[in-house]
Structure 1
C-alpha cells in the first residue's frame, strides 16, 4: 500500500517560479554531476589512479564551490534588493 496518492502528485505541475529556480541552479547541478563522474572514475581506477585523475576531481570540486558561492551571492543580493 502506497502512502502517496498518485492522483494528487500527477495533477501538480511545477510553477513558472519553480522552473525559473531550476534554471538558475542548473549550472551548479551540472557541476555536481561532473564532480560525481570524476569521483567515480577516480574510485574505479583504484590503485592505478593517476595524478591527472586526482586533478580532475579537484577541478570539479573547485567548480562546485565557485558556483555555490556565486549562487549564494546572487540570492543574498536578491534578498537585499527586496
Structure 2
C-alpha cells in the first residue's frame, strides 16, 4: 500500500517572501473600484438567473454595466496619466 502524504504544511505555511509587496497592494487598491463595479454587475446578473428578468432587472444590469465600464475607463485614464510621456 502506498501512503499519500498531506501537503498541509505547504498550503498553510507562509514565508515573508510570499506576502504581497507594497507595489502589489497599491495596484490592488487602484483597481478596487473596477473590482467592486464588476461584483455589482455580477450580482445584478445572478439575480436574474432563476427567474424571468423584469424591466427593472434589465435597468439594473445596464446601470451596473455602465458603472463597470466607467470604472475601467477611469482606471485606464489614471494609469495613462501616471506613465512617463502620457498615453502608451
Name the TM tier (shorter chain).
Answer: 0.7 to 0.9
How many positions carry a matched residue from both structures?
A: 77
How does the TM-score come out when normalised to structure 2?
A: 0.76
Structure 2 gap segments, 5+ residues each: 5-9
Structure having the higher helix fraction is 1
Moved over 4 A (4+): none
Distance (Å, rounded) in 1 between the aligned partners of 2:85 and 2:21: 23
> CA RMSD for the aligned pairs?
2.3
Q: Give yes or no for the alignment of 1:13 onto 2:12.
A: no
Structure ID, larger Rg: 2
| 1:77 aligned residue | 81
Structure 1 gap segments, 5+ residues each: none
